[in-house]
Amino acid sequence: MNTLLSTIFSLHFGFIFVQSETLNQKNYSIQTDKLTDSSFVNNDTLIMQSDTLKISGQTQLIENIVVIDRKDDKSNFWSAFLSPIFFTLFGIVIHKIVDFLKDKKETKQFGRRWVAEIRCLEQPIQKQIKALENFRTDICRENTEYPQIPFYSILNCDVFNTLDKHRLIKFIQLKYNDSSEAIRISNSIHGFISVLVHLYDGLMRKAKIFRKDYELLIDHLNENIDIILREFRDYAVILEKELHGDDPINDDRYKLIAEILFKYIADRPDNI
């Protein structure tokens, strides 16, 4: 579209220029006609004096007219053919220069966006590492609920899927003026992003599995505690029958087991 507009503008300017040249030529022709008429009057005056001078004057006049016509033909050829071509090519060159400057500006903008997005990953990476360290400490504490661990979704690097990779190479090449260096740095950046995406996906997958297994173990633990307490109550009934109705709480067969059960199991610890 820009090329078409530039071409139309050049043709329009060339057409105006041709019209201006044509008008100048017409004015020049009018002045020539006046000069011819004046010369012819003088020849008429000279005709009355000498026939020989008359012939000589007319011959000179015809030669001058032929020379003027030839010059006008060359000028018309330049105006009609070469001038529009020149301005068309000139418009195309201007368009190419504008496109080059526009592309360079857009490349710098995309490059700055890449740099900004990469720098935005620094703090989330540090916070995610700290969160994992805190989780490891909290999960080892006794009688605690399952610790919550924050996940920073920016580490999935989805934002880089919307950025132009070709623009990144052009930006680096524009900065270092070296194609091989631009490719090397670009590959390093994409490699870093790929590793980070892999680590984040692995972290999310393992955290989900770990939580699921943890909750499953807690459920099994609670089921087994219920079984143990139920069996211990049945055991107390059996001892009571042996003791002829006396409370078995002072019997060592019951007392030692009861101390263990009520100290470590009956409170239902959240941490396995």
Residue 145: predicted pLDDT: 76
pLDDT, tens digit, for every residue of 52-99? Answer: 444 444 445 445 544 545 555 555 656 666 667 777 777 787 877 877
pLDDT, tens digit, for every residue of 148-165? Answer: 899 999 999 999 998 988
How far is residue 210's CA from residue 217's CA, in Å, rounded to a whole number? 11
Residue 107: predicted pLDDT: 81
Going by pLDDT thresholds of 50, 70 and 90, the confidence category of residue 129 is: very high
First vs last C-alpha separation in the chain: 71
Higher local confidence (pLDDT), 8 or 176: 176
Q: Are 6 and 91 in contact (CB under 8 A)?
A: yes
pLDDT, tens digit, for every residue of 20-57? Answer: 544 444 444 444 444 444 444 444 443 444 444 444 44
Residue 191: predicted pLDDT: 95
| Residue 245 Rama label (left phi>0; alpha psi -120 to 50; beta) | left
How far is residue 46's CA from residue 51's CA, in Å, rounded to a whole number? 8
Instruction: Label residue 39 exposed, middle or buried (CB < 10 Å: 0-12, 13-18, 19+).
Output: middle
Mean pLDDT for the chain? 75
**Which residue has tokens 């330049």?**
78
| Residue 268 Rama label (left phi>0; alpha psi -120 to 50; beta) | left
Tell me: pLDDT of 244 over 80: yes
